[in-house]
Structure 1
Amino acid sequence: MRRAIVLVHGRLRNADVYFRSAETARAAAGEQAAGALLVAPQFLADPDADLAGGLPPDALRWTPEGWMGGEAATAPAPISSFEALDALVARLADRRLFPNLAEIVVAGHSGGGQVVQRYAATSQEADALAKDRAPGGAVVRFVVANPSSYLYFSPERPMAGGGFAALDLATCPRADRWKYGLADRPPYAAGRSGAEIEAAYLSRDLTMLLGAEDRNPNHPALDKSCAAEAQGPNRMERGLAYARYLAARHGAAFRHVVRVVPGVGHDGDGMFTSPCGVEALFASEPCPAAP
């Protein structure tokens, strides 16, 4: 086994659906994905405790929004959802358990895309593996698909006519606060400066997947807060603007891959089982680059 795929579900917390998508993508990748380990973690929220049978007392659960931003669990201990991902990545990278594992891919769509985008910027375990990687040890890649919003590293946001300008925080103070900006970030992300977080994010091996048809400004699951609207009118435009933002700040140092998935809207299965999605997860046959 050379590769592990960790696929994070969306806001519906339907890990079983995402696991099936990972299985379909693995089959489409053919020999390139032979033996790949698939993991679909389940992040529980407080309302899940009311489901039939309830939850075991030691089961972590978060607020319905908190798990997407790395906030601490509400019970039974204040553990960040990013700490949970760190533990999973660390276990996969343990060569005593998986001696041949060369690559760990952490991917997510929609709400899961929000998780992975912020986790890529702040991941303590990815930093540790990059710093102390033993010969033949696993590397970590990230795949961010169709999130409603992104973590910006400065007050600038895209303008309608192109370019970027500083926000008027008096009219939308939350726009520069976590999870949209660096202010008031949770304890997990508070131990480093904003510049260090931005540098870590820039260093990641990361692919952005954007559904070409994910353009509905009134999609029922789209974040329509003023903080999110400041990033663009819909998910497709927000993603392209974010890539332009990083390119404008860092020039040639911005090396993340951007893929526009033709014919797919806000559909996790459609994204990850498309040729672009299969390429991103399993390094299979390439799909066309974004225009």
Structure 2
Amino acid sequence: MYRSRRVACSLLVFLGAVSASIASAETQDLKSISPDSGIRVMPERELVNTPVPVVQKGRLDIETRSGDFELPIAVSRDWTKPQDDVTRAVIVIPGWPRRDLRSGEHAAELAGAAARATVIVTPQFLTARDVAAHNLADNILRWGEDDWKVGKPSQDAAAISSFQVVDEIFHRLADRAIFPSLKTIVLAGHSAGGQFVQDYAVLGRGEADLGDALVHVRYVVANPATYLYLTDERPDSNGVFAPFNATSCRAFNRWNYGLQADIPAYSPRPGSIDELKTRYLRRDIIYLLGTADNAPDGDGQDQSCAAEAQGATRYARGRAFDAYVHALDPHITQRVYEARGIGHSSYRMFSSVCGQAALFDKPGCDSASE
């Protein structure tokens, strides 16, 4: 008993040291820390493989064929009681390290009156390391470090796609007994969270599960490393889209760079590629890009051949993908919002003038000078 307590105390000391070395994960993300601060910032790949210092206190109950499971979540309103004044819900998917847990709430605070009738929902996709480090119950869902962001099954008895978590959140928000005035749902994510949101916009069934509720859904895809393309076309050096030569990179069109193979098991199975493409192009999607997120060798940047086929930097890939969807359908309403001078930071992106416009429809993005 004494030895187990000593191990537990050592683990808590280790977690505290990690937390201190990267600053408070509840108030800022790592990319916001000044190089002159003296705080050591781990490379993202190393950070991803360490336990999170903070686990969301709330729990989202999810029924599965293997029993009842839970996911850590934060909800800015009590969604077990009627919230008559709420007209908008903003669901924020954290980034790859699973630590930027307050970027949505921080943006809402800065947005002021524009976000007053908004509920902010922030789920947290944990890994086995996180669950073990915090001694969480066996029924807490957990995924592989690289799996949750692309919709793969959880690594537990439930074995459910991470996309099903968002399905459940949509289902909760569609409850008119709790949210009788809800008009808009915004699903937003930054970096790996942005990948998740774009993938979900292709495969997700949350909109269909809203039933008769007249709720508009918007997707905000912020600074992802790569995009899920709907055909085999990629931009050439002149920005012209043409079928990509697969002999130079056989993985270029596999999930989640494309739809050729390895689409995650997510019941019911998706329709044909043409059906997915048609549905995606009808979505209300904002590509929120930081103009300073333009380092070819930036921390956490995907430098695989499949990623390089989309462009050299996150910013270039975002501009190229926007041109691509408009080439597929010149009449779509999807658009780019640019956060000028901002790099790879969820807090700064969502709190920017254009970030607040994307999340809360606050005016000012067209003339923004960040």
Calculate the TM-score normalised by the size of structure 2: 0.73
- Paired residue type of 2:112: G
Matched, 1:41 2:123: yes
Task: Determine helix, strand or coil for the equivalent of 1:157.
Answer: strand
Task: State the partner residue of 2:160.
Answer: 79
**Runs of 4+, deviation exceeding 3 Å:** none
Return the match for 1:271 from 346, 349, 355. Answer: 349
Count of aligned positions = 281
Task: Determine helix, strand or coil for the equivalent of 1:4.
Answer: strand
Between the aligned partners of 1:286 and 1:201, the Cα distance in structure 2 is: 27
Matched, 1:261 2:339: yes
Return the match for 2:150 from 61, 69, 87. Answer: 69
- Contact 1:69–1:179 (CA<8 Å) still a contact in 2? yes
Return the match for 2:174 from 93, 100, 104. Answer: 93
Q: Residue deviations 1:4-46, cap 9 Å, x none?
A: 11111000011xx332x22221122222211311111001123
Return the match for 1:115 from 196, 203, 221. Answer: 196
Higher mean C-alpha displacement, 74-83 vs 187-196: 187-196
- Contact 2:87–2:184 (CA<8 Å) still a contact in 1? yes
Calculate the TM-score normalised by the size of structure 1: 0.92
Q: Which runs of 5+ in 1 are unaligned?
A: none
Task: State the partner residue of 2:140.
Answer: 59
Between the aligned partners of 1:74 and 1:171, the Cα distance in structure 2 is: 33
Task: State the partner residue of 1:180.
Answer: 257
Matched, 1:199 2:278: yes
Between the aligned partners of 1:50 and 1:160, the Cα distance in structure 2 is: 47
Task: State the partner residue of 1:25.
Answer: 107
Between the aligned partners of 2:254 and 2:341, the Cα distance in structure 1 is: 34
Task: State the partner residue of 1:2.
Answer: 87
Between the aligned partners of 1:143 and 1:63, the Cα distance in structure 2 is: 24
Please show how residues 154-165 of structure 1 align to structure 2 within 5 Å: 154-165=231-242
Q: Which runs of 5+ in 2 are unaligned?
A: 1-85
Between the aligned partners of 1:244 and 1:210, the Cα distance in structure 2 is: 14
- Contact 2:170–2:209 (CA<8 Å) still a contact in 1? no
- Contact 2:104–2:120 (CA<8 Å) still a contact in 1? yes
Task: Look at both structures and tell me which one has the larger radius of gyration over its CA atoms.
Answer: 2
Return the match for 1:211 from 258, 272, 290. Answer: 290
Give, in angstroms, the shift of residue 52 of structure 1.
Answer: 3.9
Q: Residue deviations 1:240-268, cap 9 Å, x none?
A: 0001111111112x210211110101111
Between the aligned partners of 1:174 and 1:56, the Cα distance in structure 2 is: 37
Between the aligned partners of 1:146 and 1:29, the Cα distance in structure 2 is: 21
Task: Determine helix, strand or coil for the equivalent of 1:49.
Answer: helix
Between the aligned partners of 1:165 and 1:47, the Cα distance in structure 2 is: 43
Please show how residues 136-151 of structure 1 align to structure 2 within 5 Å: 137-151=214-228
Task: State the partner residue of 1:12.
Answer: 97
- Aligned-residue sequence identity (percent) comes to 41
- Paired residue type of 1:211: G
Between the aligned partners of 2:364 and 2:285, the Cα distance in structure 1 is: 15
Return the match for 2:132 from 50, 65, 68. Answer: 50
Task: State the partner residue of 2:359.
Answer: 281
- Contact 1:141–1:204 (CA<8 Å) still a contact in 2? yes
- Paired residue type of 1:158: P
Task: State the partner residue of 1:240.
Answer: 319
Between the aligned partners of 2:138 and 2:92, the Cα distance in structure 1 is: 25
- Contact 2:190–2:223 (CA<8 Å) still a contact in 1? yes
Give, in angstroms, the shift of residue 289 of structure 1.
Answer: 7.5
Between the aligned partners of 2:130 and 2:195, the Cα distance in structure 1 is: 21
- Contact 1:207–1:256 (CA<8 Å) still a contact in 2? yes
Q: Residue deviations 1:142-161, cap 9 Å, x none?
A: 11100001110111111112
Between the aligned partners of 1:289 and 1:12, the Cα distance in structure 2 is: 33
- Paired residue type of 2:162: S
Q: Which has the higher helix share?
A: 1
Matched, 1:169 2:249: no
Between the aligned partners of 1:121 and 1:286, the Cα distance in structure 2 is: 29
Between the aligned partners of 2:303 and 2:351, the Cα distance in structure 1 is: 28
- Paired residue type of 1:268: S
Between the aligned partners of 1:183 and 1:57, the Cα distance in structure 2 is: 35
- Aligned CA distance change for structure 1 residues 204 and 257 (closer, same or farther; 3 Å): same
State the structure with bigger RCO (CA 8 A, min sep 6), 1 or 2: 1
- Paired residue type of 1:6: I
Give, in angstroms, the shift of residue 226 of structure 1.
Answer: 1.0
Q: Residue deviations 1:189-214, cap 9 Å, x none?
A: 74311111111111111111000000
